[in-house]
Structure 1
């Protein structure tokens, strides 16, 4: 899907197929070798590897009985629960494509994911009925909806499930709500093994939604062959030595980076520990680290800061930790040093986009220093991951020398197959076989990468990418707003937050609180601007375009922002 051509191997030998391991085989291996060991924990509940494997077989049977076949897309809207974890492997085993959402997204946002992915089935937690209705309206092809709720009890007021023998579970318009309960379906099919679908290297397994510069989410196609490499690379570069004796704590949604991290744990039969509640609680997290002797976790700098500054860090034993992996945004140097003082030499940083599945650079524990001496690698996001190559290029695709700033481009087996059904985005994102990240940076003489800026207006708040145009377009639908510019500004807690500058329609007088209240619910909460300012006009460039560089300068001039540090 990247548009790259294929070349026959020398000697004229062209393989008939590039068959690879179905990723669900990781779970089968864990069940065979460690069947009686605990594989998943949430609160006081736990599931052993053999049990998880049987439940995945059962759900694969249930989906197959409803007409889901290899290549079909299955949308999943759920918090971190055992059924969410299992749904990944059920889709893989069936040869279907797992399409997880961030459960914090609004019904309209998730409906776009359903429509653009071409989903034909949906697995949804029972407390998201509005998401089901929005998805069915936007994507009529969704004919099967499975509810994650109390075992055997569909949500109150939901119509009966689709008959199990009907094509794709029934017609798309037979009801507007939930179908059968997930656990009831598992119970019905439990005990019958399900053979994993045969897959080739480029068969899609996961649509990893990531936004582009326009803010419209795009489905990055992850494949079985690519992800087999990613898992190997994670084990090699991020958490070497991981075994079935290890345990991993999940503090982020399984829909994105945490899901990839947990797939890696399954490959080594390391148990996964989920937080019991829906809200992040540092005290609960540290209690789980102590109770389950957690050895690794994946998170973002904001959460590392919250964990290490919370008083509970000193009440619980966290000496079992070997790898605290953070990504998604730079970490302030003082926060980094504080975390090292509290946890010891366990920090692992990596840089990577969803399109490269996190596999661009790594900064291992040995290169995280508390001291600011000449040996400290301050400001770098590390060196190239195993089997990956970074190239700093100018606008014409020419590679730049060490120390020169340009666009960060990357190639290697971890690069995704391309964006689903989006040839325009693929054409922009690939050049001469290199994936263009859109980030700006430079390499030093030793190959350490330093990110110095972004080619787009995107900013990172709490580890999540925020693309201003999406929020700007929403604000422009407000009857009292005629122009708007949103930009990311530094923030000690979240890394960056949004600031909106609006021009009100003549005769209107909107206020900040009312406008933010109106926007709440139209976009996910993490995308809401922190502040809103009202000006008579926005500064424009010589070409008549709103220039965010001039907006930022004007915010500083008016005292709304601190001036950036000088060179």
Structure 2
């Protein structure tokens, strides 16, 4: 099935009902279907054909959401960029993905120019809003209004989406997502993350549609649940809670850092959020202290899943009933859940042998949600697949009942005095201190021990906590060989464009702050 048929189904059954909200504006399912048809026709008239890649550089807006379905409808490949990336970074995506066309928000003329220069095969640019670099999106929709191109016939393995990885260890890679794979993912999300979702539901978007939020919203369309976009470009927590109350939001997808902001903001208690059934978080494990606070403020609505873009977020799930405020029987503390329906997880050593329960190794996965491979990157494919398993690069272990515990990224582990140190465990302990809001532990070179740990901490407002006091508090709570050798305090931790705490950015900032100041004479 062509994934754009989800929208057609919603329009047939619920055409006069609101399907999309952006600030104060609304669109019915019927209006969205008509607009997607018109843009699909416009792309066809501009020479975009099945299999062509369409790069999208845009902030969240209705046109960006529509562009996904317009591309799917004609069999083109939707290639969304993180709109916070620089012109040069997006130009690299255009070239690496072989973009034939581009849909670019008028706020990014430098990105359009850089892409045109870097990718000679870029034949057409459509501008969201009036600009000097392309035809206006809404004007094209008006010009082709009423046209209804036939949906392209697609096979299960036909690509529909190039999902660019975040590139924390190098250039982003284009993970190829297919129509059949994504149909499985949509079904699985409805089964494991949001059971019982119907046209009566509504979903609030608090993350860029270019990545996980886009997948989440595609799932909503499959059940004709409305999507609600806040008016503000940046996260406005009070506005978000106001929209939860106004639109009776039942689910949202987010990452732990944003969920933490939502749960800790005073406005959480000023608005009615009793409609919420599923607050889904992914992208990183959530620290236990933050998890407990969110449960206390929001109730038993938390759903955690673990999954990379390459597996479309589809590896494990921890449903609401297994989130618990209490530490007693039944609580699953520190786990990211059990295998998603139709998926299989294996903990393997460096040689690909499966390890016993409780043993730490690389988390590997197989099943219908695994992507088709990286576009035009045989070296990356060779490294990422082994004997039919996709290697996530994450470390962890499973217990006897099949619950998965993530230790951290393989790249985060460091070796101090011959012992493997997994920062995640130390960070969990440090965050139990009431004066700390965030922490990241990294290994840095040391002439005596090889590497030692540095804890970068963000104190809560008004805290006077110092290094010696924190290390004294930690003494006895973790093994001595795991103790950080240094503690530094910053006002905030640098985060990726998706709101994740990223060790690569923290390490760069740590090195910058540790560098000696240049002499006055140069």
TM-score, normalisation: structure 2: 0.82
From the superposition, tell whether residues 285 and 138 of structure 1 become closer, same or farther in structure 2 (CA, over 3 Å): same
1:513 corresponds to which residue? Answer: none
Structure 2: unaligned runs, 5 residues or longer: 414-422, 425-439, 443-450, 461-495, 517-522
Q: 1:292 aligns with which of 242, 247, 250?
A: 247
CA RMSD of aligned residues (A): 2.7
* 2:135 maps to 1:135: no
2:38 to 58, 61, 66: 58
SS in 1 for 2:21: strand
Could you list the runs of 5+ residues in structure 1 that have no partner in the other structure? 1-20, 159-177, 461-465, 469-484, 495-519, 537-567
How far, CA to CA, are the matches of 1:281 and 1:213 in structure 2? 27
In the TM superposition, what are the counterparts of 1:449-528 in structure 2 within 5 Å?
Answer: 449-457=404-412, 491=457, 527=505
Once residues 414 and 491 of structure 1 are traced to their aligned partners in structure 2, the CA distance between those partners, rounded to angstroms, is 36
8 Å contact kept, 1:213–1:457: no
Q: Distance in 1 between matches of 2:258 and 2:336?
A: 18
Q: Does 1:95 align with 2:75?
A: yes
Which position in structure 1 is the counterpart of 2:185? 230
CA–CA distance in structure 2, aligned partners of residues 489 and 41 of structure 1: 42
Residue pairs, 1:138-537, within 5 angstroms:
138-149=118-129, 154-155=130-131, 158=132, 178-211=133-166, 214-457=169-412, 491=457, 527=505, 529-531=508-510, 532-534=512-514
Q: Deviations over 1:368-400 (max 9, x none)?
A: 000111321111000000000000011111111
Q: Could you list the runs of 4 or more consecutive aligned residues of structure 1 that deviate by over 6 angstroms after TM superposition?
A: none
Q: How many angstroms apart in 2 are the aligned matches of 1:488 and 1:87? A: 44
Instruction: Give 2:61's aligned residue.
Output: 81
Is the contact made by 1:146 and 1:181 (CA closer than 8 Å) also made in structure 2? yes
1:144-194 deviation line (CA, Å, top 9, x unaligned): 110101xxxx22xx1xxxxxxxxxxxxxxxxxxx11000000000011112
Per the TM alignment, residue 491 of structure 1 is displaced from its structure 2 partner at its CA by 4.8
SS at match of 1:112: helix
Distance in 2 of aligned mates of 1:60 and 1:489: 51
Cα offset, 1:525, TM superposition = 12
3-state SS of 2:165 partner: strand
SS in 2 for 1:533: helix
Task: Give 1:71's aligned residue.
Answer: 51
Give per-residue Cα distances to partners, 1:231-265, cap 9 Å, x unaligned. 00000000000000000000000000000000000
In the other structure, the counterpart of 1:27 is 7
Cα separation, 2, equivalents of 1:123 and 1:530: 34
How many residue pairs get aligned? The number is 446
Q: Partner of 2:84 in structure 1?
A: 104
Q: Which has the higher contact order (CA 8 A, sep 6+)?
A: 1
Return the TM-score normalized by structure 1: 0.75
Residue 125 (structure 1) aligned with residue 105 (structure 2):
yes
